[in-house]
Amino acid sequence: MRYADITGWGKCAPPAILTNDDLSTILDTDDEWIVSRTGMKERRIAHVPVSDLAHVACARALAAAGKSAADVDLIIFGSCTFDQLVPNSASRVQQLLGADNAACMDLNTACTSGMYALSVATAMIKSGSMENALVIGAEVTSVLMDWSDRDVAILFGDGAAAFFLEASDEKSGVVAESLGCFGKNRDILDVTGWGLKYANQGLMLGDTKWNFNGQEIFKRAVVGMSRACDTVLEKAGIAKEEIDLVVPHQANLRIIDALAKRMGASEEKVYINIQRYGNMSAATAPLALVEALEEGRVAPGDKLLLPAFGGGLTWSAHLLNWGARIKPLGTTDVDLPPCDKTGLQLVRDIIAAKKTVKG
């Protein structure tokens, strides 16, 4: 049987940091509230568009896999903050990489986009239609954030991660998954001004208001992810105790704790980096997996469980059999241009730019 092994991985965390104390200079909030309610201490703010973050993550994933851009068959870009819709943003990554032989598609399921992209790429490789793929989870929500709304502005950050997948005869990569959506509840995470329908209502694209029912989203996140995990384990015929590491979507530390409790997973079996990045939407679980690898938390043959949740309300869980490679084969000089601003300066620039356009 054919599988899709993950042989390369890379992340791109933009350098500018926005701390909780920074947020308290523009919003009625404080470090104590944010840490106790979310577990977040700081997040990154991008000084470049999301495609540029994705490009760097992809270059690193290719170097880790020991491949060149010309080898790539397919690029799937998971995000909901594409800098362009036509042409799509995957084609921008192709252009920046010089991956001239790749098919290119964008995929949006909000925070789960990177994980859904992993499913699509795996299925296409398993079916034989592709030999390999670059899968991206990347997001720049800072530009579309309503920076006057403390309920949501504290929660999100920018980032990107990418994986290189190759056809393999070994039982590795995604071995079971469960995907779904609570569409009936889609309005509890709804961003007004983020889509073409708002152009007819005289709203400037990007002038957003977030209809965000945090407590209801919280409940559905726990239910959606824990049910998806149960389904995946049942499909794979393995017990909870056999999971070596859970690498969850990081939207709130309390959501992760509730999920871990339901899974009976001890602290050391759950990977957490929410304190450094907040919720990077599509980049979150992919970047967490990259950091788990970098920190030596993944061994060859490990069983990894990746639950995720996002707007839609989409949910997912993936069971991965990690393959043989846990160290990158190579590195690359490809990097972001330098950033001479702090996270807070970048946020103030976004707020000022929106005011200028609105007049």
Catalytic positions = 111, 249, 279
Q: How far apart are CA 66 and CA 58, in angstroms?
A: 12
Residue 289 engages ligand UT7 in binding (rule: CB under 6 A): no
Residue 228 engages ligand UT7 in binding (rule: CB under 6 A): no
Pick from 84, 76, 56, 172: which is nearest to 116 by CA? 76
Burial of 199 (0-12, 13-18, 19+ CB in 10 A): exposed
Alpha helices in the chain (DSSP H): 20-23, 31-38, 50-65, 89-97, 113-127, 150-153, 214-236, 253-263, 274-277, 284-294, 343-358
Q: Which stretch binds ligand UT7 (CB under 6 A): 176-184, 194-202, 213-221, 315-323?
A: 213-221
Residue 151 engages ligand UT7 in binding (rule: CB under 6 A): yes
Burial of 215 (0-12, 13-18, 19+ CB in 10 A): exposed
The least distance separating ligand UT7 from the CB of residue 167, rounded to whole angstroms, comes to 32
Q: Which element (helix H / strand E) includes 105?
A: strand 103-107
Q: How far apart are CA 261 and CA 242, in angstroms?
A: 16
Residue 18 engages ligand UT7 in binding (rule: CB under 6 A): no
Residue 15 engages ligand UT7 in binding (rule: CB under 6 A): no
The least distance separating ligand UT7 from the CB of residue 316, rounded to whole angstroms, comes to 12
Token pair listed for 10: 């890379």
Residue 108 engages ligand UT7 in binding (rule: CB under 6 A): no
Residue 141 engages ligand UT7 in binding (rule: CB under 6 A): no
Q: Which stretch binds ligand UT7 (CB under 6 A): 89-97, 122-130, 211-219, 345-353?
A: 211-219
Residue 201 per-residue DSSP state: G
Residue 194 engages ligand UT7 in binding (rule: CB under 6 A): no
Token pair listed for 191: 């961003």
The least distance separating ligand UT7 from the CB of residue 152, rounded to whole angstroms, comes to 7
Residue 57's φ and ψ, nearest 5 degrees, are: -60, -40
Residue 186 engages ligand UT7 in binding (rule: CB under 6 A): no
Q: How far apart are CA 210 and CA 96, in angstroms?
A: 33
Residue 252 engages ligand UT7 in binding (rule: CB under 6 A): yes
Residue in 46, 251, 292, 317 binding ligand UT7, rule: CB under 6 A? 251
Residue 182 engages ligand UT7 in binding (rule: CB under 6 A): no
Q: What angle do CA 139, 336, 115 make, to 5 degrees?
A: 30
Pick from 353, 344, 221, 239: which is nearest to 285 by CA? 221
Residue 33 engages ligand UT7 in binding (rule: CB under 6 A): yes
Residue 168 engages ligand UT7 in binding (rule: CB under 6 A): no
Dihedral sign (CA 219, 221, 227, 230): negative
**Residue closer to ligand UT7 (CB basis): 45 or 61:** 45
Number of residues that bind ligand UT7 (CB under 6 A): 20
Q: Nearest residue by C-beta to ligand UT7?
A: 214
Q: Which stretch binds ligand UT7 (CB under 6 A): 83-91, 192-200, 216-224, 227-235?
A: 216-224
Q: Which stretch binds ligand UT7 (CB under 6 A): 177-185, 248-256, 314-322, 347-355?
A: 248-256
* Residues lying near ligand UT7 in the complex (CB under 6 A): 29, 33, 37-38, 111, 150-151, 154, 189, 214-215, 217-218, 221, 251-252, 255, 279, 309-310
